[in-house]
Amino acid sequence: MADIAVLLKQVPDTNAKIVISGGRVDEGAVNKWSMSPYDEYALESALAQGGSITAITCGPARAKKLLTDAAAVGATELMHIVVEDLTTLDSNQVSSILSAAVQRTGATVVFCGKQAADTNAGSTGPGVARKMGAACVTLVSELSGDASGFSALRPSSEGMERVSIAAPCVIAFDKMATELRRPNVKGIMMAKKKAVETLSPADLGVDLGAADVTLQAQNPPAEKPAGQKFEGAESVATVVSKLRDEAKVL
Amino acid sequence: MTTIIAETSGNSLHPVTAQLVTAAGGDATIICPGGTGADEAAALSGVAKVISVEGDCFATFDGGAWGSAISSLCEGRVIAAATANGRELAASIAALKGCAVVQDVTGIDGDSITRPIYSGKANETLTVSADTILTVRPNTFPGADGGGSAPVNTVNQSADVAVAVQEAIAKASERLDVSDADVIISGGRGMGSIDNFSHLEAIADTLGAAVGASRAVVDEWGMSHSMQVGQTGKTVNPSLYIAVGISGAIQHLAGMRSSKYIVAINKDPDAPIFGVADYGIVATWEEALPALAEALGNL
């Protein structure tokens, strides 16, 4: 069994309301932080493979909880690269940090989510793969086999396709049909005692340099003007004619 | 100058490629991986040059291999489409060049870039360096017109392919995918059961629309995840989005609120979906859908 590194990100829960204050998302207003949903499938797929599984996150101090949660379901090693404000980093810097972290673990197989639920970018999997000199496949919704030869299901222009890929590789997961395992009491107790290796980018030997991308402001989406509301199915014909004549979309 | 990486669909150019030319603002070089769609690209207005990149590595998609083969041909600002393949390819090229990538861009004003975050619950404005690679969200910019006649240069490139296709699986249905559709009709838990989606499909067929679904029905009724619209499904921006029996959970709204026009049909007058609807109809689907089918038939 090959060692697997799983890249995890803590994000506001997808049911959380996002509040903007002073041109930034107000983290204090986030009522619940969760593991990014696609990362949950990456972790689950790693646990299904078994063996040594290092859960890695890059983020502020609060993200440590994510690693403890991963340990509670079976991650064997935990690594926290502390970066207090991820919005100060560009994709290249994040890929550099995470690939250095993976190399420290010795893992040749990396699982991650197809994108994080906050930035929605999807740059990390392919970026880390490139920096590691590894192959990459994204949007994977089924996986079988092992590091000597995985078979992964991904979308294609014709529908879906099953592709083969072997270590060293990065696999970025989409939502899967797989049931996610939940921690039991013993797992939770064990996880609390589990050591977290806490490092800075400099500890990993990563010279970040200057970011190519600078955040100016985060803003709420443009308010839509109030819509028109109608009562009863008899109004459907009216709406259809408005779609044709006002909106010009039919 | 700007280098555009063409998005292809089967053996031809995907319409988003013409939108990338508009996003680039002229003087664009279009790279066509595998040579696909090179003549179509050359006919777009605002294109200075087309590079048709041929090689065995383009037979199937391997973002790493394609990136290796294309990277050295990219000059100036690089723009690709924010599609599944476009995003992976852009990220791979950026990491290879040691520069940043900004995905899913919806606004470009010089070096000031706007993109949605939290699946549209917020936007962010970024200042990017000259070599930052951008992927542009489909249907954000109008497509460039035809009438161009750019020269096509053919180059051969090779790269090691590490992702091999074992089996192609055709789509379960011929139905349009929500990511590609200009009109989407989506159903939620209010539809009562998965069988009732046939009523949505019938209307979709009339409209040439795709059928979408809320997370609740994907998770609880086992509908295909490829139909799911929302923060953990697909983010869509069609011209018309019709939500039927969808209450409008925050994570669903995140995935569809950027649609140009939204119609909501729900029997609950207080459903949050009405907050984002341009046209709201308070009615049961059992009454509204036959009326909708009839009204569309009368157009």
How many Cβ contacts (< 8 angstroms) between chains A and B? 284
In angstroms, rounded to a whole number, what is the distance separating the alpha carbons of residues B266 and A203?
A: 55
Is residue B41 within 8 A of residue B19, CB to CB? The reply is no
pLDDT tens per residue, chain B (299 residues)? 899 999 998 899 999 999 999 999 988 999 999 999 999 999 999 999 999 999 999 999 999 999 999 999 999 999 999 999 999 999 999 999 999 999 999 999 999 999 999 988 899 999 999 999 999 999 899 999 999 999 999 999 999 999 999 999 987 667 888 988 899 999 999 999 999 999 999 999 999 999 999 999 999 998 888 899 998 899 898 999 999 999 999 999 999 998 999 999 999 999 999 999 999 999 999 999 999 999 999 98
Is A60 within 8 Å of chain B by CB? no
Per-residue pLDDT reduced to its tens digit, B233-258: 998 989 999 999 999 999 999 999 98
Which candidate, B4, B6, B38, places its Cα nearest to that of B24?
B4
Query: Among B17, B106, B12, which residue's Cα sits nearest to residue B3?
Result: B17
Q: Which pLDDT band holds residue A1 (cuts at 50, 70, 90)?
A: low
Domains B2-164 and B175-297 share a fold: yes
Instruction: Give just the sign of the alpha carbon dihedral B100, B103, B108, B113.
Output: negative
Give A27's contacts in chain B (Cβ within 8 Å): none
Q: Please judge whether B87 and A236 are an interchain contact, meaning their C-beta atoms are less than 8 angstroms apart.
A: no
B164 closest CB neighbour out of A124, A157, A164: A164
Q: Do A12 and B251 touch (CB under 8 A)?
A: no
* Arch. (CATH architecture) of A4-204: 3-Layer(aba) Sandwich (3.40)
pLDDT of res. A36: 97
- Scanning B159-270, the segments in alpha helix (DSSP H) are 197-207, 215-221, 250-256
Q: What is the CATH number of domain B175-297?
A: 3.40.50.1220
Q: Is there a contact between A169 and B162 if contact means CB atoms under 8 Å apart?
A: yes
In Å, what is the CA distance from B122 to each residue of A217, B92, B250, B273? Answer: 10, 26, 12, 18
Contact A236 B288 (CB under 8 A): yes
Which residues of chain B are within 8 Å of residue A162 when distances are taken between CB atoms?
165-167, 169
Angle between helices A124-132 and B84-97 in degrees, nearest 10: 40
CATH number of B2-164: 3.40.50.620
Q: Does A159 touch chain B (CB under 8 A)?
A: yes
Residue A158: what pLDDT? 81
Which of A15, A21, A156 is the mutation pick for testing B, counting most B CBs within 10 A? Answer: A156
* Cβ pair A157:B9 closer than 8 A: yes
- The domain segmentation of chain B, as residue ranges, is 2-164, 175-297
- Determine contact, residues B281/A235, Cβ cutoff 8 Å: yes
Using 50, 70 and 90 to split pLDDT, how confident is the model at A223?
A: confident
Give the mutation candidate from B11, B140, B163, B225 for the A interface (greatest A CB count, under 10 A): B163
Q: Say whether pTM exceeds 0.90.
A: yes
